[in-house]
Structures are given as structure tokens and as C-alpha cells.
Structure 1
Amino acid sequence: MSGFSSKTASGFGTPSLTPPLEAALKTPATGSSSANSGTSTPGNLKKVRLLMLHGYTQSGAIFRGKVNGLIKKLNKLFPPLGLEPVLIFPTAPNKLTVDDVVGWERRQPPIPGFEPDTWAWYRSDELQDKYLYLEEGMNRIAETLQQAREDARREGDEDGGVDGVIGFSQGGCMAGMLASALEAVHKPRAAAERTHERWLETVREANGGRPLKFAVIYGGFRAAPLELEWLYNPKIATPTMHWIGSVDTVVGEERSMGLVKKCIDPVVLNHPGGHFVPIDPKYANALVSFIHKHVQDKTKKDEQEADDAASDEDTAIESVFDLPRRGTQSV
């Protein structure tokens, strides 16, 4: 069984859920039998380092505050799986002023020297069809990747570092670009694209030449400038999960789907909200299940796939992430 039915010819509409899929999404995320036996302790948990990229006009601290509820749920859901979440919240390097923030009302009388804690990973210049200061944004991410690797080494994990990225809005766009950039197959080819070679080499070196294990994107979108088209050709192979708000008026569904269509086998989920990161328990379960699937060791993955194949006929409920991903799934 497919687990969901699509009502649209294109495959990118909002399909309805069948009862088995609804049950799977409402079931708390689970891992291996040993992880669920209650024997996991803080000392033997495997750290999962998540790079958290904030949106336009936010900062690392502001984004952390916005997703504090989700952090609490991850801290509760990960340990039974033998995992410990380590969330890293860098702040973008490009400072925004009050005049850069749409809708910001200056205080009367103004506070001398006051500037909001608002930052950007890049500045969009539609007239030139460019993202200004993108290299500075990518360099800040490279610094964070390098620091994560050094932290892992100090803890005795020579191969450790950032496992995956979670990005919101402009940070979601950056998450998609980063996932692509860390795949060796993507590289600038045309002369107009060569200006991006410096930051590309920097982020790859910072991450030890390794691709990310996954990318989770909330209200994200595809980079618009033509000189960044090389990031999406070929399509992004890193496993991606895309969250789209059904009433998001900041980044509409069509714009988010522009990025979805540039990813191989994306997981696409709708939530009945606007431009924010949903923290309802069932959404947190789905997020944890996706991350857990992609941070397991290859050996464990192979064993799990073999077990799944052997017991396929006895399986009562299929996992949402093992279903054919033909369109947007509403949870």
C-alpha cells in the first residue's frame, strides 16, 4: 500500500492521508530494540550535531528562542534512540539596520545608538540578479563547521562534526545551498559562476570533504540568481525534508516547491500554519524519525533494511519515510 492518495495530476498537490499513515505519524518515534530498552545513559549517547540556520532579520539567539519548544521535544525524543542532540546556532555576519527591516517602527523618541539584533546570510539584489555578501555568509558557516569538528575531536570522535542542517526561511535557502555545495558533483562551470569557488572550497575543507547526512528546510526556497544554478544541476542528492505552511504568506508553497523539485526523493510535509517552525508533538516525531533514519551507521542501515525486507509481509504500519515520495504529505 502507498500510505497516501494523491488527488492531483502533477503529484505536487496536497494528498489526503490514509488511516495507516495517520497512525504512523501519531506514533512516537522509535529506534532499535536496544535503544528502547531503557538502558541508554548520558554517557553512551551518540551526539547528533545539528547546524541551525536562522531566517532573515533574525540571529542565532533569536532563532534559538523561537524554537525553544522544539528543542525541549528533541531533548526528550532523542535519548531513547541512543542519541543526544547538539544544536548549534550561529549568527549570520551581515548586519541589518532598522531601515532594512520591513514593518519595523522606530521608537519615538528614538533610543540613541539602538539597533535591532537582526542579521542576514546574504542581501538580495534583484536588479543585478545577485546575492550580495553570500561569501561572508558561507564563510561564517564554514567557521561553524570547523568548530564542530574540533569539538568532536576533543571528545574523542575523530570522524565527528556537523551531521545535518536545519534551516528556516533564508536559512532554509542556505541549508539547501550548503547541502549541495558539500556534494562533490556540484561545482561552478561558467565564467560568471567562478566567483563562488572561494567559499565553495572553504566550506568543503571545513567539513572535511564530507557531504551532510541530511537537510531539513522550513519555509525555504531555491536561490534565485542564475549564477547559482550550478548548485541545482544535477539535483541535490542529500536527503532533504521540506516543511511548508499552508497559510505561509512570506514564502508561498509555489516558491518552496521550486527547491523541492531540485532535490532527489525529497520528503515534503505540510503544516496548517504560516511562516514558522511548527513544534506540535507529531511534527517533532516526524522530524526525529527522519533524522534518526539518516544518522544511523551504514552497517545498522543495511541490517535494518534486511530485517525490513524479511518482515515486510508482517508489517502492520508503514513508516512515512519508507513510502514512495510522490508529493506533499499533509500531517
Structure 2
Amino acid sequence: MLHGHGQSIDIFHPKTGFLQCALNGAAQHADQALPRFTLYYSEAPFDVIPELGSKAWGFGMFDTQQIRGLNRSVELVLRQLGQLNPVVGIVGFSTGATLAIIIAALLEKKDRCRLFGVTTTHPPLKFVLSYSGFMLGHRKYRDLYYPSIRTPVLHHIAELDIMIPARMTRRLVKRCRKAKVWTFFGTHYVPRQPETTKTAVEFIFRCIGEESAAEHTDEEEAWVDA
């Protein structure tokens, strides 16, 4: 679980803990045996407003600049994944969603790790839930998105989001080969509407029931629902 800019575990956990209840509730009432889930939270390493406990994964203009501190954040998340290995998926909000997809890209193609001077033996993720995610635009990060990301991603777009407008997320959607888009009427937050939660739960169970995303072929294009 990766929070957004200016948040922290203490802020993000109350906003997203419902996902664990929804997943395990669905598993309990399913006709077939389904796994139980535990959510683990990562906290960004940089202070934004120390007295408020707000954190950041990095600093810079996302569309034109290299992001200061991103290497450290990538290393932190990969280290936590290694400790928990295996982790089946990542849920991220805003900058946390952007980082989640970066991590997914690194786990798909380990040679991408050279961008950040890190290594990992963690297997590819089975899914990413991305809430208000976006791409990094500096040329240094191009190889993260080309070739396109194969990990299944459910992209959430808030129709009234002025911080991460829909066009920014849809640009990222185009670089995800197995993308599904869910649009909701709201602003910049993690939605809790029953229908939105149901869609996320069904998406996750579908992903963990399939073979590794890295083994899929052109059939992946059938997932695109943008």
C-alpha cells in the first residue's frame, strides 16, 4: 500500500483499510476457496511538513524533470517486497500509484533496475490498483513504459480531479497492455462506493487466478477497457 504526496501510513491506513475487509469478506462467501489478504503499508522516506507527519516519495516536476529522491524510494519499496516475498500486488494513490507502476515495470524486466541502481529477485506482480496515477515524463524514465507494462492494472479516474486530471491518467493507461479503467464521480481521493469496491475486488481475484502476467501474449489486449 503506497500513499500519496503529503500523506503517511497514519493518514492512508484509515482511508484504505476497507479494502482488506472487502477482499476477505468476498473470499469468505465465495463458492470456491480463495486466499485471505493482508495489507502492508510502506511510508515514503522524505518529510513534507514534519510537524504533520506528511511524507513524499520524491520531489520535482513529474512531466519534465528527474525526480529527486526517487531512487531511494524505489530501493525502500523493493527492500520491503523482498522481506515480505512474495507480494501479489500493490495498491497506490496519486504519486504512490505512479511508484506502484514503476515497481511493477521493474519486476517485469529486471534490467530496468539499472535506472535506479537497485537489484531484486522478487517475482512480477499479479496486479496493481492505481488511484489517480500518472506517468513520469523525463526521458530518463522512458524505458519504464516502453515496451508497454504487462502487469494488469486497474486505473481509477476521478471525474472532478483537478490535481491529476483524467488526461494524465489516460496517458498512463496507454502504456499498460492489460489495463482496465474505472471512472467515478469524485475528486482526488480513494473512492469507497460499493460498486467501485466490488470492481476492485473482482479485478484482484481475476488477476490472482490467472498465470503470471509476464507469461501472457497478445491476448492481453482483450483487457483494455479505456
TM-score over 0.5 for the pair:
yes
Tell me the SS of whatever aligns to 1:251.
coil
Q: CA deviation at 1:73?
A: 2.4
Which residue is 1:243 aligned to?
156
TM-score (norm. length: structure 2): 0.87
Say yes or no: does 1:136 pair with 2:72.
yes
Amino acid at match of 1:89: Y
Within 2, Cα distance between the matches of 1:252 and 1:134? 23
Which residue is 2:44 aligned to?
92
Decide whether the 8 Å contact of 1:242 with 1:267 is kept in 2: yes
Within 1, Cα distance between the matches of 2:3 and 2:170? 20
* Greater C-alpha radius of gyration: 1
Which residue is 1:63 aligned to?
12
Q: CA deviation at 1:197?
A: 4.3
| RMSD (Å) for aligned C-alpha atoms | 2.4
Post-superposition Cα deviations, 1:40-91, rounded to whole Å, max 9, x if no partner, equal xxxxxxxxxxxx1100001122111112333432332233342211101110
Percent identity, please: 28
| Structure 2: runs of 5+ lacking an equivalent | 212-219
Tell me the SS of whatever aligns to 1:131.
coil
Which residue is 2:124 aligned to?
211
Q: Say if 1:141 and 1:323 are closer, same or farther in 2 by CA, change over 3 A.
A: closer
Tell me the SS of whatever aligns to 2:177.
coil
Q: CA deviation at 1:283?
A: 1.4
Within 1, Cα distance between the matches of 2:105 and 2:222? 23
Which residue is 2:208 aligned to?
295
Which residue is 1:283 aligned to?
196
Amino acid at match of 2:155: H
Q: CA deviation at 1:147?
A: 1.8
Decide whether the 8 Å contact of 2:74 with 2:116 is kept in 1: no
- Choose from 160, 163, 168 the match for 1:255: 168
Decide whether the 8 Å contact of 2:22 with 2:201 is kept in 1: no
Q: CA deviation at 1:278?
A: 1.1
Give the total of aligned pairs. 216
Within 2, Cα distance between the matches of 1:216 and 1:229? 21
Within 2, Cα distance between the matches of 1:257 and 1:97? 31
Within 1, Cα distance between the matches of 2:62 and 2:108? 27
Highest RCO, 1 vs 2 (Cα 8 Å, sep ≥ 6): 1
| Structure 1: runs of 5+ lacking an equivalent | 1-51, 99-114, 150-160, 189-193, 299-321
Which residue is 1:78 aligned to?
27
Post-superposition Cα deviations, 1:230-284, rounded to whole Å, max 9, x if no partner, equal 1011000111110101111110000111110101031111011111111122211
Within 1, Cα distance between the matches of 2:62 and 2:18? 36
Decide whether the 8 Å contact of 1:216 with 1:242 is kept in 2: yes
Which residue is 2:217 aligned to?
none
Amino acid at match of 1:182: L
Tell me the SS of whatever aligns to 1:243.
strand
